[in-house]
Structure 1
Amino acid sequence: MSAARLPGAHRPVALVTGPTSGIGQAYALRLAALGYDLVLVARDQARLATLAHDVEVRFGARAQVLPADLALAADRDRVAARLGEGVQFLVNNAGFDLSGEFWTLAPDALQAQLDVNVTTVVQLTRAAVPSMVHAADGTVVNLASMAGLIPGRGSTYSASKAYVVSFSQGLAGGLAGTGVRVQALCPGFVRTEFHERAGIDMGSLPRPLWLTVDEVVAGSLADLEKNRVISVPGAQYKAIAAVAGLIPRSLVTRLNRGLFNARGRT
């Protein structure tokens, strides 16, 4: 089957989760500018509608609004069903961190984080890939994090992002030669609503460590063109990742604790 277009349209389709702010919004806008129609997935229906109107006015892109809470199995199933109809580009951006120590947090909050950060990525990727393989063309970008490469930014968050990195690497190997690209996007600290929503104070972070959302998206797209499975935007984070690969893991963990202070974060 060929990948589905939106009704009455002829542009390729990209589905983006968590597009109402931050990296997800920047990616959605960039894809609309590149000629994609969009399927927009998030909980906030009002913000989704605003973004859909914005991409139509600015880029002539059609947008299907698909309100969903990806912590809920029924909502994940609805999004997966849409992906099963076919898309050319999937951005698994939705995810969240938690404030508070692991042993103090409610189990259902920890499960919700796991369901959004890991289960959603696996389920939606599984739904999207078959039509991409059939068409010998498609792209999956999974939002991981530097925390997935260098542990220490909380326990469950780092672990969830490490899963996304490993999953993306393995899947990219399995899809070699099919025309389908897979990327684990591993940004460092980015100026978004992410930390504020998690209740994490980032006021002490040195200014040179901050990236903009546009830098992250530009880095991701450039690395896709080079078929790089792991994308680390920003020269400062490329250097950190390179150094981390050369020193013992125990020392990396100690250094990361000092630089990124995981106390009070999960």
Structure 2
Amino acid sequence: MKQAYAWTLLIAAILAMAGCASRAPTIAHVHIGHAMTGWYETPNKEGLFVLAEKKAGESLKYAQAAADGSRDLKRIKTNIARAGMLCDGEAMGNEPKAQYGVKQALAGAVSHITYAATSLDATANTRAFADGFATNAAGVMDRCDLITALSSDIGGTESVEEAGLLAPEIEKLAHANLHGEDLDGDGIVGSYANEYGLAQLRRDIESMIAREDPPYTTVNKWYLFNLIRLPDGSWIFRKRQTTSQDDPYGGGGGGGGGGGY
């Protein structure tokens, strides 16, 4: 009898967990998921902020290669052009389907954190976070603009000396984009907005997520890719027409949104 009762409790617990797993997330949490987990327009459908981190790391690698003291002007130009494109794909003439540089990916993450904060079901914690996140992200995007300008200067010069002077400046900016910088010399990176890099932005996002109540959990792919924006600005999930929650294009096809974010 006791054993049967124990099995009954176990089955009830499993069913309860299954019910929780299938419950739709809040609209706010889906937008956070677009920043941190997945977005249908990114090359590998990774989260927008995650893509910004990836591009910033690659940009720094090429900037370091350009600033290694080489006297080969063609090599410097090639590496700097790549570093610049990874920072700002659109400004460097990137292909439309691969338009994301650090700047575009981070701007997208800022947009979705803002969408999260302005959703009707957003917590006070998310609302309080969004403005500061946008302010602190602005410094990274400003550095991307500087990298683009300096990359253009190197691309147009025929002087290896000039290229050799500018390349370390780009390396410094690319390093700050990823790791931040201590501009005021107080020993703390991230004392104010202009010191922020992606490392400090990630720290803040993770702290915000840890404070969420009800807790944030990783958003299922179906919900990530099937949130659509209506003409009146409200958000709804596309009508589900599949039993698979892991089908990113379930519910009637097409990449997450009928033209909406």
Name the structure where helix makes up a greater proportion of residues: 2
- Structure whose CA Rg is larger: 2
TM-score greater than 0.5 by the shorter chain: no
Name the structure where strand makes up a greater proportion of residues: 1
TM-score with structure 1 setting the length: 0.29
TM-score with structure 2 setting the length: 0.29
